[in-house]
Structure 1
Amino acid sequence: MTTTNTATTGELYAQALQDTADRPGQCVVPWGVCPEHGATLKASGNRTSCMDVACFNSWEYDRLDAPCPEPATHTVQVDGASGGYAVCDGHALTARAHITNGQVVPGLPA
């Protein structure tokens, strides 16, 4: 029998909060983005590159399937929850475009 990981949004948020506490100053999102353009990556084999036409960023590994290596610069706060979790510039850019019931603010969680 095969099982799948179907974590709820609440569980994912709780894990991000714990990761923020465990790794201060580090982006806690478990996949990579372009640090300048956000969720614009494409992977081919062991190479990842940004799809933004003005960007020449590329990496010699599958950045999409690796934890984000970038330093945290912003906090994602979900309405009704205390604290927030730490993200890098690229994940902050992406979160601003996709988050509902929350906000992205400069600086690290208190």
Structure 2
Amino acid sequence: MTTDSTTAALYAQALQSTAVDPSRCTVPWGVCPEHGGTLKSRARATEGFDSWCTDFTCFNVWPYDRLDAACTEPATHTVQADNDDRYVVCDGHALTARAQITDGQVLPGLPA
């Protein structure tokens, strides 16, 4: 995959997470489970955060900073890099990965 060093470190963390719990998405940031990388977050005036999907057909809203929280969605796809690294992701991260990775594949299902 073509990535910068920060992104590479995050993917290395995802690989470790895959070994710990292969049934959960391993990406350390959130997405909309239906539309992928379409989240916005803001701090509330009183306390905490709000997050929402920016897709105009979506009404998903979360009462926390989902964008900067580790993803908790179930894993449904495997991202296979050209160097044979694999990590598991949810539907939303698979959608985003298909649009962003250049040297790898997004495959339905989990590794055996």
Give the TM interval when normalised to the shorter protein. 0.7 to 0.9
Identity of aligned residues (%): 67
Corresponding residue pairs, total: 103
Q: Distance in 2 between matches of 1:99 and 1:34?
A: 18
Structure 1 length as normaliser, TM-score? 0.86
Deviations 1:42-63 (Å, cap 9, x if unpaired)?
1121110000000000000000
Deviations 1:56-83 (Å, cap 9, x if unpaired)?
000000001100010000000001225x
Deviations 1:85-104 (Å, cap 9, x if unpaired)?
00000000000000011000
| Aligned alpha-carbon RMSD (Å) | 1.5
Q: Distance in 2 between matches of 1:47 and 1:106?
A: 31
Structure 2 unaligned blocks of 5 or more? 44-48
**Matched-pair contact (CA < 8 Å) for 2:11–2:27:** no
Change (3 A) 1:7 1:44: closer
Q: Distance in 2 between matches of 1:30 and 1:71?
A: 13
Q: Distance in 1 between matches of 2:39 and 2:24?
A: 20
AA aligned to 2:66 is R
Equivalence map 1:41-80=2 (5 Å):
41-45=39-43, 46-80=49-83
Which position in structure 2 is the counterpart of 1:95? 97
Q: Distance in 2 between matches of 1:32 and 1:14?
A: 17
Q: SS at the partner of 1:75?
A: strand
Q: Distance in 1 between matches of 2:84 and 2:75?
A: 20
1:24, CA displacement in angstroms? 1.5
